[in-house]
Amino acid sequence: MYGFQPSESFGPDVAGRYDDSPRGDEGAAADLLAQLAGDGAALEFAIGTGRMALPLAHRGVRVEGIELSRSMVDVLRSKPGGAALNVTVGDMTSVHTGKRYEVVYLVFNTIFNLLTQDDQVRCFENAVGHLTDTGVFLVEAAVPSAWLPTHSYASPERVDLDAVTLDVCTYDPATQILDENHVHISKDEGIRFGPISCRLTWPSELDLMARLAGLRLADRWGGWHRQPYTGKGMHVSTYRRA
Contacting residues for 242 by C-beta, under 8 A, at least 6 apart: 211, 214, 215, 216
Query: 192 and 234, same structural domain?
Result: no
Query: 14 and 118, same structural domain?
Result: yes
Residue type, 185: I
Query: 188 and 121, same structural domain?
Result: no
Query: 163 and 77, same structural domain?
Result: no
Query: 217 and 98, same structural domain?
Result: yes
**pLDDT value at residue 151:** 62
Reported as a single tens digit per residue, the pLDDT across 37-74 is: 999 999 999 999 999 999 999 999 999 999 999 999 99
Q: Minimal CA–CA distance to 69: which of 5, 139, 141, 9?
A: 9
Query: 64 and 117, same structural domain?
Result: yes
Q: How far is CA 233 from the centre of its chain?
A: 15
Reported as a single tens digit per residue, the pLDDT across 148-177 is: 765 666 788 788 888 888 878 889 989 999
Structural domain count of the chain: 2
Query: 206 and 193, same structural domain?
Result: no
How much is the pTM?
A: 0.88
* CATH (domain of 65): 3.40.50.150
Q: Is residue 160 part of a domain?
A: yes
Mean pLDDT of 21-37: 93
Note down the domain range covering 38: 6-143+202-241
Q: Is residue 1 part of a domain?
A: no
Of the ranges 79-93, 148-162, 190-204, which one carries the lowest mean pLDDT score? 148-162
Residue 113: is it exposed, middle or buried by C-beta count within 10 angstroms (0-12/13-18/19+)? buried
Residue 78 and residue 196: Cα distance in Å, rounded?
25
Q: How far is CA 230 from the centre of its chain?
A: 21
Alpha helices (runs of H) in 42-101, residue ranges in sequence order: 53-58, 70-78
